[in-house]
Homo-oligomer: A and B are copies of this chain.
Amino acid sequence: MNPDITKERKNGTFDVEKLTYIVDGTPEKTRRRREIESLVLSDPDFKEEDPNFLSRSERYDQAVRKSAQMILKLREYGIADPEEIYCYKNIFKGNHQEALGLHFAMFLPTLYNQCDPQQSRKWLPLAESFQVMGTYAQTEMGHGTHLRGLETTATYDPATQEFVLNSPTISSIKWWPGGLGKTSNHAIVLAQLHTQGKGRGLHAFIVPIRDMSTHVPLPGIVVGDIGPKFGFSEVDNGFLKLENVRIPRENMLMKYAKVEPDGTYVKPPSAKLTYGTMVFIRSMIVGLSAKTLAKSCTIAIRYSVVRHQSEIRAGEPEPQILDFQTQQYKLFPLLAMAYAFTFVGQYMNATYQRISGDISQGDFSELPELHALSAGLKAFTTWATNSAIEVCRMSCGGHGYSRSSALPDIYVDFTPTCTYEGENTVMMLQTARYLLKSYRQAKDGQQLSGIVSYLSESDHRRVQPQPVAARPTVVDINDLSSLVEVYKLRAAILVELAAKSIQQELQNRKCQEDAWNNSSIDLVRASDAHCHYVVVKLFTDKLGEIGDTAIHSVLSTLALLYALNGIKLNSGDFLQAGLLSGPQVLQISGRIKELLSQLRPNAVVLVDAFDFSDKLLNSVLGRYDGNVYENLFEWARRSPLNATEVHESFHKYLKPLRSQL
């Protein structure tokens, strides 16, 4: 054990184990997670070569091998509860992706939700026994988040009772689905349905793409890998071009909408039914942001106490990097954010569970709010985490660039969350639409409920900034509930500002749509402020549940740092609206410095409480024992370029060069 890191652990002021229970939810959850972890991590069948040392084809090969093994293990251990499968899969895949990810995450759930009884009887046994391996083909080369723009067609032919599927243009080629390129033999294809000469909008079809026995692509199917990407090297994200591909009528998923044998179209009973999955996935991404940020902070903070560099006092030994104020200011606000997002993730998960109960009873009343919240928080947390990973990486100096740090892999595998499952700017605008609607309802005198109810209260506020002196300054910068209040007021003011921008555009004779577009900068900003308020509020609420005094104290410090630093970084908003005065903002800067020093002794134990095992982190810099340098040297020596002492290029190019000059 590195003596620096041992010393850090002695400095902690609270019981790490107890904080781990809070992070996991309950002691029982911690116990079960560890149990599953040790199942996976001690399993010799999962031993693998560092993917960074492999070619892409080898990485894909290794990922398929591991996924196949995982399926066998889940059976062997009888793990069937979805939450436990999710936990098992997460541990098993580590910082990388899983080859059969979409079969589990999208193909099977879509079959479960959208098959009629006859279809279930046919497809579920095939899919559950992996005769059928599937993916979910929605996005096209030229079309993403905006579903109405998708071009793939499925035209019903009553003569043969078949659908004829086509990719009518280059831009309509299905593009990006994971597992589509090489792994899957079936795909659920989203296509514009045409029957009886009429377009009926987007529907889902089960399309066989490869022969189930030989795995060779079927006639009319042009399928393949879309090529190397930023991350996801082990996944065969694929393309699919459909050329007059015929499938039986029964391959349209018919639980809700139907096409009768004669081509008659039967509408689905409600448009909201497919809505829930998206909300679920976005809510899960909030939790993923928290986990990823927690990992990155663990690596950066542990390495920052082991790494000595530069000098504070001349002549003295080089200090631990974490003793530099600038390093603390890079990392501690992110640590605070990791805790904030953890609790927001717990809230989203609980809310989803609660509301999905209502939904299964046919009560959709809370869905719009959860939809708006999950869209905005998905964008808010993924954007913040995305930048934060890079701050963590760069805070590790040169070694942050080494693949051995794990941070490059964590980044490239996380960054797509900003784009998939709804592009972040579009997500922010969806939340803004809900906020504006609520704002107008409040203006019209309706009583709002739920998390937006504060928009009712904002009526009396004026957006025009007032001289600070003219406004009574009631904010206590050391009181979290007071800070929640100013975040709320800021959000209310920015929503109102966006509404006024739209109004003004309309007065300038713009149509509704142009007015919206010309106000979209303000709308995104309003959504962002709303999400920020929600995060500060949920973190503060969480503190109320925590009985342990020592843990309550350190989490309160983190919450305060999160709230105050958010104000510092957006101080223009608070000053402009007169919510805070100039001297208060100065005071906040000073207070932040105090909080950094206060947190310094607990930094390592706070990341220890996230309880990532070394195998899971897979980072030389983030090792629990702090023995970084010897292990970095070990790792480097295994680099494939070191397999031979002299690389062949010397004989091929460099030696001959001499005689040619």
Cα separation A318 to B171 with both chains bound (whole Å) = 13
| Contact of A465 with B by CB under 8 A | yes
Among B582, B632, B658, point to the contact of A578 (Cβ < 8 A): B582
Residues A325 and B146 in contact in the complex (CB < 8 Å), given A183-B654, A394-B418, A636-B225: no
**Chain A interface residue number, banded:** 35 or more
A225 touches B520 (CB 8 A): no
**What per-residue 1/0 map shows which CB atoms of A124-145 lie under 8 Å from chain B?**
0000011101000001011111
Tell me, rounded to whole Å, the shortest Cβ–Cβ distance linking A530 to chain B.
17
| Contact of A251 with B by CB under 8 A | no
A239 touches B468 (CB 8 A): no
Cα separation A313 to B650 with both chains bound (whole Å) = 62
B402 touches A227 (CB 8 A): yes
Tell me, rounded to whole Å, the shortest Cβ–Cβ distance linking A452 to chain B.
22
B171 touches A629 (CB 8 A): yes
Cα separation A314 to B593 with both chains bound (whole Å) = 51
Contacts of A130 in B (CB 8 A): 654, 657-658, 661
Residues A326 and B425 in contact in the complex (CB < 8 Å), given A64-B653, A226-B639, A585-B572: yes
Cα separation A411 to B408 with both chains bound (whole Å) = 12
Tell me, rounded to whole Å, the shortest Cβ–Cβ distance linking A561 to chain B.
13
A227 touches B52 (CB 8 A): yes
Cα separation A61 to B649 with both chains bound (whole Å) = 6
Among B60, B318, B387, point to the contact of A649 (Cβ < 8 A): B60
| Contact of A403 with B by CB under 8 A | yes
A309 touches B629 (CB 8 A): no
Within 8 A of B (CB), among A293-345: 307-314, 318, 323-327, 329-330
A576 touches B576 (CB 8 A): no
Contacts of A239 in B (CB 8 A): 633, 636
Among B308, B646, B647, B660, point to the contact of A72 (Cβ < 8 A): B660
Task: Tell me the dominant secondary structure on chain A's binding face.
Answer: helix
Nearest B residue to A642 via CB reads B224
Contacts of A468 in B (CB 8 A): 467-468
| Contact of A630 with B by CB under 8 A | yes
Among B217, B327, B521, B589, point to the contact of A329 (Cβ < 8 A): B521
| Contact of A55 with B by CB under 8 A | yes
A53, A586, A629, A655 interface centre (most CB from chain B within 10 Å): A629
| Contact of A89 with B by CB under 8 A | no
A309 touches B144 (CB 8 A): yes
Among the listed stretches A18-26, A261-269, A370-378, A510-518, which one makes contact with chain B, having 4 or more residues with CB under 8 Å of it?
A510-518
**What per-residue 1/0 map shows which CB atoms of A453-467 lie under 8 Å from chain B?**
000000000001101
Contacts of A581 in B (CB 8 A): 465
A130, A581, A592 interface centre (most CB from chain B within 10 Å): A130
Contacts of A426 in B (CB 8 A): 310
Tell me, rounded to whole Å, the shortest Cβ–Cβ distance linking A137 to chain B.
14
Among B131, B143, B146, B572, point to the contact of A572 (Cβ < 8 A): B572
A133 touches B401 (CB 8 A): no
Contacts of A464 in B (CB 8 A): 582-583
| Contact of A94 with B by CB under 8 A | no
Q: Can you list 24 A-B pairs, Cβ within 8 angstroms, ordered by A?
A: A52-B227, A53-B228, A56-B641, A64-B650, A68-B657, A181-B641, A216-B645, A217-B645, A224-B642, A225-B642, A227-B636, A227-B638, A229-B403, A236-B641, A236-B647, A326-B520, A386-B390, A398-B419, A401-B416, A401-B419, A408-B412, A467-B467, A521-B592, A576-B586
